[in-house]
Amino acid sequence: MFEIKPYVDSKFCLECKGCCLFMKEKWLPHLLEDEKKLLEKDRIKLKEINNTDGCEFLNRKNHLCCIYGQRPFECRLYPFLLVRNEKTLDLVVHLACPFIMDSRESEYFKTYSSELVSFLKKSPAVDLLKKEYKAFRVYPEAELFKIESDILGKG
């Protein structure tokens, strides 16, 4: 799996502690075929701790990921997400991320987004996305901000 430079600084994430906690299973990251083999499971499951649902790989004591080096592609991409439509794969950001809300109008956001779009449209990323197209999900549009439509040029 290729590495994606994180958009949000880990210090901010560890102070926020909003990632990896889910009110609904539909927000759980999906696994690509290679990730399923690596993790020996078909999907990530919710684990309830202290009346809160979270990723089964989240260490609640320090809010660190137990599989950080092998975390799924979708986790590496977050707060950016790939959303599958009828024929397209769109790049969006999740507006629930406080860092996105604070930085969405910044030059840093614009530059990072542009670089990410370029990266996703080139091999080996585009090859992976085409192969795994059906694995990506549909998320509630009200919680998203679209960066780029039709990453794969399928529409």
Q: Is residue 1, in this structure, part of any structural domain at all?
A: no
Tokens at residue 134, please?
């059906």
Of 40, 32, 24, nearest to 1 (Cα)? 32
Strand locations in the chain, DSSP E? 46-49, 52-55, 58-59, 64-65, 80-84, 89-94, 144-148
The residue among 72, 92, 127 that closes a domain is 72
Report the number of distinct structural domains present in the chain.
Answer: 2
Q: What are phi and psi of 131, to 5 degrees?
A: -65, -40
Contact 71, 53 (CB under 8 A): no
**DSSP secondary-structure letter at 30?**
P
Q: What is the pLDDT of residues 114-141, one digit of tens each?
A: 999 999 999 899 999 999 998 898 888 8
pTM: 0.91
Q: Is residue 3, in this structure, part of any structural domain at all?
A: no
Domain range enclosing 108: 79-155
When pLDDT is averaged across residues 1-14 and rounded to a whole number, the result is: 86
Asked if 134 and 94 sit in the same domain, the reply is: yes
Q: Is residue 34, in this structure, part of any structural domain at all?
A: yes
pLDDT of residue 108: 96
Q: What is the pLDDT of residues 95-113, one digit of tens each?
A: 999 999 999 999 999 999 9
